[in-house]
A and B are shown apart, each in its own frame.
Chain A
Amino acid sequence: MTGKDLPALNIADLQSLLRHREVSPREVLDVLQARIESVDGKIDAYLSIDFEAAAKEAEKANVDLPLGGVPIAIKDIISVSGESCTCASKILRGYLAPYDATVIRKLRAAGAIPFGKTNMDEFAMGSSTENSGVKLTRNPWDLSRVPGGSSGGSAAAVAADEAFGGLGTETGGSIRQPAALSGVVGLKPSYGRVSRFGVVAFASSLDQVGTLTKTVRDSAMIMNAIAGHDPQETTSLNEPVPDYTEELGKDLRGARLGLAKEYMIEGIDPQVKTAIDAAVKHMDSLGAEIIDVSLPHTDYAIAVYYILATAEASANLARFDGVRYGHRAEHPRDLLDHYGRTREEGFGPEVKRRIILGTYVLSSGYYDAYYLRAQKVRELIRQDFAKAFEKVDALISPTSPVPAFKLGERTDDPLQMYLADIFTSPANLAGICGISVPCGFADVDGHRLPIGLQLLGKALDEARILQIAHAYEQSTDWHKARSPIAATLPNA
């Protein structure tokens, strides 16, 4: 196929070409592979790619299926049978997943081809992908900046046109925040909407799989494939799944959008604030009703999040003991030495920090003061949202208070890094859904840095926030902007 810049296509347009036999799945893979080879040396979004396995699937792909023949990049925390799954951690170096995660099985059933495992903060702990135990990923809009995290590899790959779309995971904003910083669409579904079976656990009461895509429609298309009940996952909700593309195209008239006064915090970058204000005004002009609401316990969310998430992580990561899989220390003196050194050698600094904090807040004498109290404040945060959603269909805020920051800028101060999750982690605590869509740019040091608009919806109301996000997106040109590294490539 010639005359078209294939990697620049979104999933919907690519699938249309595939379905009409204007391009074959194998040709798509070849072009994508060439794109990755030409740009990933600069971005470092991918940790591993099994081209041969994907090529085999491409040969038998059914292009008449909804995602037929579409390659999808997969965060390296999700099991793809026979492929490396390291969570960007030394402790899982060489680990090959023995089975497909449910989301992968479902993607395949919809015709998609899992293609490439993407970089991330180690075990999804971080907001910049700098905690990867393997390598740094760079922001396609400014290579001296972070792509966000923890799903930074998937976000950067989509932004650099070296993936058509990707899967990520969230515990406190790890899809929406990198989507905002990298200028793509990121959807975190409600807790229980998408199966986590086969996804390495970080904080089990918060974790959720979601999408990173070029458009809202693409997100809806992937959700159609991956959402729904999984008998193999006990927290998977047995609720009907709508066709997420069905409501797309409806306009904003009558949509009730909430602005929470607690989100008007100091510390929001002025250019971010300007962009969000403009987006709100724009939606107002398109017929949405803007309503002031209150989420009184917002200020406690980060503290609650870091107590609960680290507590759960310390328990989940106990499985890395150097026996069944992963790194194992050489010549241990005894069992304690075996455990202690295996984990010392295998885990990176942020993972260690969180294991210590999580173990502490669960330890005897501190459990009530920290963990139990945090669970109770979590319930208050959930109630805040429940009350707000009595009045509105969705809440609007910035996704991140700042655009992409410089590599290394925040690594010395974990607390400052944690505060990057201020607008995103409450949704995980409350189990609701959220999406980030591009809504403008900040001009910083001669670079255009993407800004993300966040829409939060009540639990299982993904169709509604996708519809609102789509109406906004289609009435603006932000999603058409391409990162410099993608735009400078020749139209092959």
Chain B
Amino acid sequence: MLKPSDLDVAYVAKLARLNLTDAETELFQRQLGDVLKYADKLRAVDVSHVEAAAHTIPIFNVFREDERRDWLTAEQALSNAPRQANGLFIVTKVVE
């Protein structure tokens, strides 16, 4: 396992699309460093013969008939949108 000091909070925050203040970045760097140091104990476990468990129960694809059913109307789906017009979500401009 890699050293906890590899954590670069400012870089990870960019990956997470989450702006942090300098104070938050510094605080999280220290606090999450502690958490990762604690998590280092997992290195002691022999997992060479273990299958990773994404779930604890058997999970299968669940299929249903491809048929029409009642669900939210467009109006309902848009009802919580911070910005909308003409039955559409307004997004921030992506292309110049």
Contact = CB atoms under 8 A, between A and B. Distances in A.
Interface in B7-58: 7, 9, 12-13, 15-20, 24, 28, 31-32, 34-36, 38-39, 41-42, 45, 47, 50-57
Contact of A382 (B17, B56, B94): B56
Contact of A335 (B18, B28, B39, B93): B93
Contact of B80 (A234, A307, A326): A326
Interface string A309-344: 000001000100111111110001011101111011
Nearest to A362: B15
Interface string B53-71: 1111101011010000000
A192 interface: yes
B2 A378 contact: no
Contacts of A349: 24
Nearest to A333: B92
Nearest to A355: B16
A164 interface: no
A349 B28 CA distance: 9
Interface string B78-93: 0111110000010111
A237 B18 contact: no
Contacts of B35: 306, 357, 414-415, 418
Given A191-B57, A324-B81, A332-B92, A353 B17 contact: no
B71 to A, nearest CB: 8
Interface residues of A, number: 72
A328 B83 contact: yes
Contact of B17 (A237, A336, A365, A372): A336
A387 interface: no
Interface in A232-271: 234-235, 237
Contacts, number: 169
A133 to B, nearest CB: 15
A97 B1 CA distance: 43
Interface stretch (A22-30, A297-305, A391-399): A297-305
Contact of A235 (B1, B6, B57): B57
Contact of B28 (A235, A302, A356): A356
Contact of B38 (A234, A303, A353, A377): A303
A223 interface: no
Contacts of A307: 39, 42
B55 A235 contact: yes
A39 interface: no
Q: Which of B47, B54, B57 has the largest number of chain A CB atoms within 10 A?
A: B57
B45 A377 contact: yes
B16 A356 contact: yes
Contacts of B56: 191, 205, 378, 382, 429-431, 459
A343 B18 contact: yes
A297 B79 CA distance: 47
B64 A231 contact: yes
A123 interface: no
A378 B53 contact: yes
Contacts of B53: 375-376, 378-379, 382
B93 A415 contact: no
Given A99-B72, A334-B93, A377-B42, A359 B15 contact: yes
A370 interface: yes
B94 A335 contact: yes
Contacts of B89: 323-324
A290 interface: no
Contact of A323 (B7, B52, B59, B81): B81
Contact of A379 (B32, B38, B52): B52
A344 B20 CA distance: 6
B32 to A, nearest CB: 5
A322 B17 CA distance: 12
A19 to B, nearest CB: 34
Q: Which of A235, A328, A376 has the largest number of chain B CB atoms within 10 A?
A: A376
A478 interface: no
Interface of B: 1-2, 6-7, 9, 12-13, 15-20, 24, 28, 31-32, 34-36, 38-39, 41-42, 45, 47, 50-57, 59, 61-62, 64, 72, 76-77, 79-83, 89, 91-94
Given A205-B55, A377-B45, 15 more contacts: A192-B57, A205-B54, A234-B61, A234-B62, A235-B59, A300-B41, A300-B45, A328-B82, A336-B17, A339-B17, A343-B19, A344-B18, A369-B2, A429-B56, A430-B56
17 contacts: A94-B80, A98-B79, A99-B72, A205-B55, A234-B62, A306-B35, A318-B17, A327-B82, A332-B92, A347-B18, A356-B18, A357-B36, A370-B1, A373-B42, A373-B47, A380-B47, A415-B38
Which 3 residue pairs of A and B lie closest in terms of their CB atoms, listed nearest first? A431-B56, A325-B80, A375-B52
Interface of A: 94-96, 98-99, 191-192, 205, 231, 234-235, 237, 297, 299-300, 302-304, 306-307, 314, 318, 321-328, 332, 334-336, 338-341, 343-344, 347, 349, 352-353, 355-357, 359-360, 363, 365-366, 369-370, 372-380, 382, 413-415, 418, 429-431, 459
